[in-house]
Amino acid sequence: MNQQVIKCSKLATDVEKTIHSIRHDKLFVLMDEHTHLHCLPLIKEAKGIQEAVKIIVPSGDTNKTLEHLNDAWKQLTENGATRHSLLVNLGGGMVTDLGGFAAATFKRGIAYINIPTTLLGAVDAAVGGKTGINFEGYKNEIGAFYPANFVLISSDFFQSLDHSAILSGYAEMVKHALIHSASDWEKLLAFPLETIDYLLLNELVFRSVGIKRAIVEKDPYEKNIRKALNLGHTTAHAFESFAINRGTPVAHGYAVAWGLIVELWLSHRVCGFPKEKLQKTIRFIQQHYGAFDITCDDYETLFQIAMHDKKNVGGTINFTLLSEIGNVQIDQTADKNLIFDAFDFYRDSVGL
């Protein structure tokens, strides 16, 4: 999986160079309504961007659907895209997921570049080649492994994000640190999120992306060690689908933070993850992420959603857990009673 990640120093110049490095007959830029308004101006000086065909979809993960994928395919077709065209995805995870899947499937695959405009997009969706859409109420149910040729990381975009968008991306960075090393974990928990140094944040982001990229290169199709990246996500995806179904969507990174509470507790119970590191991580999450409101009556529904997760094998819910920071235990299982106990622990931890 050959995917180059570039830490931008001069955004428009770096975008221009990257576009120029890929031979193409026609350029397309996929954006959502917000990134069209707020982010396109930051790269408009890059040669070719002004003349590119603009494809604009509604913003928000609930619009990562077959309908809007169809709209993207249609605009590519109507504007004369060929197998030699180039697609630039300018946006957060919803845009890079949808745009990546459009690129993967149009003419059996065209080249594309991801320019993530959110912290979450930069450290998660834009890197690693997973593309897809939500379907029938399930997150990322339809998709393909199809990496971008380039991913451009720039803190120019992060400075305009609100605090909740920073936190959403930061939860994925904490997850990367947990699966990698105690020193990375300690650095992230000590970083002053109330008074952000964006240059330092960009260094931390690039480090975090590097952790993910190294894992993906070893296991591009998630047969083995790439499952490390699923820490917190079995629960997080259940929370997200549950929230969408009740009409109160939650940000992915927040769901990951709450999912980490559940799955680090399971790590403690199943794999002996140290209690003091569990508690220190939970205190960080309590301090910054609030709570996802669930009751005992919701456990069965959450369990059934988790049973539908793509990572499961033979009808058993499959978790990635830790025995220690940096010591990943993939393909772990827990029975229904233990999972319900973990939900109890989560609710106690966040004060529900």
Please tell me the distance from the alpha carbon of residue 189 to that of residue 325, in angstroms, as a whole number. 13
Instruction: Tally Cβ neighbours within 10 Å of residue 217.
Output: 13
pTM: 0.89
Written as tens digits, the pLDDT of the chain (352 aa) is 568 999 998 999 999 999 999 999 999 999 999 999 999 999 999 999 999 999 999 998 889 999 999 999 999 999 999 999 999 999 999 999 999 999 999 999 999 999 999 999 999 989 999 999 999 888 888 999 999 999 999 989 999 899 999 999 999 999 999 999 999 999 999 999 999 999 899 899 999 999 999 999 999 888 899 999 999 999 999 999 999 899 998 999 999 999 999 999 999 999 999 999 999 999 999 999 999 999 999 999 999 999 987 677 777 899 999 999 999 999 999 999 999 999 999 999 999 8
pLDDT at residue 1, as a whole number: 56
What contacts 165, CB < 8 A, 6 or more positions away?
Answer: 118, 119, 120, 251
List the beta strands (DSSP E) in the chain: 4-7, 27-32, 53-57, 86-91, 111-116, 130-135, 138-145, 150-153, 318-324, 327-333
Phi first, then psi: give them for residue 76, nearest 5 degrees: -60, -45
Q: Which amino acid is at 187?
A: K
Helix, strand or coil, per DSSP, at residue 163: helix
Contact 257, 289 (CB under 8 A): yes
Can you list the domains of the chain with their CATH numbers?
Answer: 4-158 (3.40.50.1970), 163-350 (1.20.1090.10)
Contact 109, 119 (CB under 8 A): no
Where residue 287 falls (left for φ over 0; alpha for ψ -120 to 50; beta otherwise) is alpha
pLDDT at residue 222, as a whole number: 87
Return the residue matching tokens 């605009």.
75
